[in-house]
Copies of this chain bind each other. A is one copy, B any other.
Amino acid sequence: MLQRRIDDHAPPTREAMREAQDIFFKHLKRVGLKHTEQRDTILRTFLETRDHLSTDELFRLVRQKDPKIGFTTIYRTLKLLAECGLASEVAFHDGVARYEHQFNRRSHHHMVCTDCGVSVEFFSPEVGKLEEEIGRKYHFDATRHTFQIYGICEDCRKNGKRVPATSH
Interface residues of A, Cβ cutoff 8 Å to B: 82-85, 91, 93, 111, 113-114, 120, 122, 124, 126-127, 130-131, 134-135, 137-154, 157, 168
CA distance A143 to B148 in the complex (A): 11
Chain B residues closer than 8 Å to A157, beta-carbon distance: 141
Query: Could you tell me if B126 and A130 are in contact, using CB atoms closer than 8 angstroms?
Result: yes
Query: Could you tell me if A145 and B142 are in contact, using CB atoms closer than 8 angstroms?
Result: no
* Number of chain copies forming the complex: 2
Chain B residues closer than 8 Å to A85, beta-carbon distance: 168
CA distance A135 to B157 in the complex (A): 13
Chain B residues closer than 8 Å to A146, beta-carbon distance: 93, 146-148, 150
Q: A142-B151, A145-B148, A149-B142 given as contacts; is B93 within 8 A of A111 (CB)?
A: no
